[in-house]
Amino acid sequence: MPSQADKLRSLLEAEKLHVMPCCFDALSAKLIEQADFDLTFMSGFAISASRIGQPDLGLMSYGEVLDHLGNITQAVNFPVIADGDTGYGNAMNVHRTVSGFAKAGAAAIMIEDQLSPKRCGHTPGKEVVTREEAFDRIRAASDARKDGADILILARTDARHEHGLREAIDRATRFKELGADILFVEAPKTIAEMETICRELPGPKMANIVEGGETPELSHKELEDMGFAIAAYPLTLMASAMKAMMETLAKLKSDSDRTPLMMDFAELRDRIGFNDYYEQSSRYETSRRS
């Protein structure tokens, strides 16, 4: 059986756009897989909100993120790209983080060049480390792979915010030379900037589409024609779920009919996996008696 990293490598060989809804827990990852998407991304923004109820400002530890990742990868059978933030320390921490994420089943890990504690790429106050430190992070990630980690490296730069697009492109170009498989220049502000990224950077590129964020919200065809390999939607599911929950809570509080906002109970059980469990457990006599 091919590894999840191999599955992702095969996806990237196709010259097409892969639309990637981002998950925030094992259930949302299962729903993405059931909806026939090719892959998902474990969003740091989303898991910080769902696991600890806090903003994505570097509050979660490596151990918490690793535990969350393991729950997700065990629930699905398609590639999961995981947000490794800044690597949780110096270059040696990056090496450990990449190795740990690979063992947890991630197909790829994203490592970025923000100053720790990092911030969401579409919020104020972002700063990046020096070129030398940024390059050391990707070098350490590549070394972890040489040391046996079966995982792809998604290298992210947030340098556009402080230093302009040229610095971001220069950093991303060097990331590729150091072994990155996928390049991600965060938060371009115009279509022209997105076109420049695709024209000047080698290999697969990722676009990050945050509804209401700084990057233009282009159609899938426009992104594909531009040359992006992956379009990430980091908050689409979480924002939709939160809106639905707030509307349902309001209905419940006012004793109004909330069922139109809810998934049917039979479908809910099926999508969670009750029917699969019953089918499998029917093969075992002791399970039938329990």
Q: Are residues 59 and 199 in the same domain?
A: yes
Structural domain count, the chain: 2
Residues 175/183, Cβ–Cβ less than 8 Å: yes
| Digitized pLDDT (tens) for each residue of the chain, 290 residues in all | 899 999 999 999 998 999 999 999 999 999 999 999 999 999 999 999 999 999 998 899 999 999 999 999 999 999 999 999 999 999 999 999 999 999 999 999 999 999 987 766 555 667 999 999 999 999 999 999 999 999 999 999 999 999 999 999 999 999 999 999 999 999 999 999 999 999 999 999 999 999 999 999 999 999 999 999 999 999 999 999 999 999 999 999 999 999 999 999 999 999 999 999 999 999 897 766 65
User: What does the buried/exposed string (b/e) look like for 15-38 if buried means 16 or more CB atoms within 10 Å of the residue's CB?
Assistant: eebbbbbbbbbbbbbbbbbeeeeb
Whether residue 251 is contained in a domain is answered as no
Mean pLDDT of the chain: 95
User: Is the same domain home to 79 and 220?
Assistant: yes
Asked if 226 and 204 touch (Cβ cutoff 8 Å), the reply is: no
Three-class SS state of 165: helix
Q: The domain containing residue 87 runs over which residues?
A: 4-242
Q: Does one domain contain both 238 and 261?
A: no
Q: What is the pTM of this model?
A: 0.94
Structure letter (DSSP) for residue 259: G
Same domain, 76 and 218: yes
Predicted local distance difference test score (pLDDT) of residue 15? 87
Assess whether 82 and 220 both reside in one domain. yes
Decide: 21 and 233 in contact? Cβ < 8 Å.
yes
Q: What pLDDT sits at residue 285?
A: 76
Separation of alpha carbons 135 and 155, rounded Å:
10
Q: Which residues contact 105 (CB under 8 A, 6 or more apart)?
A: 4, 69, 70, 73, 74, 80
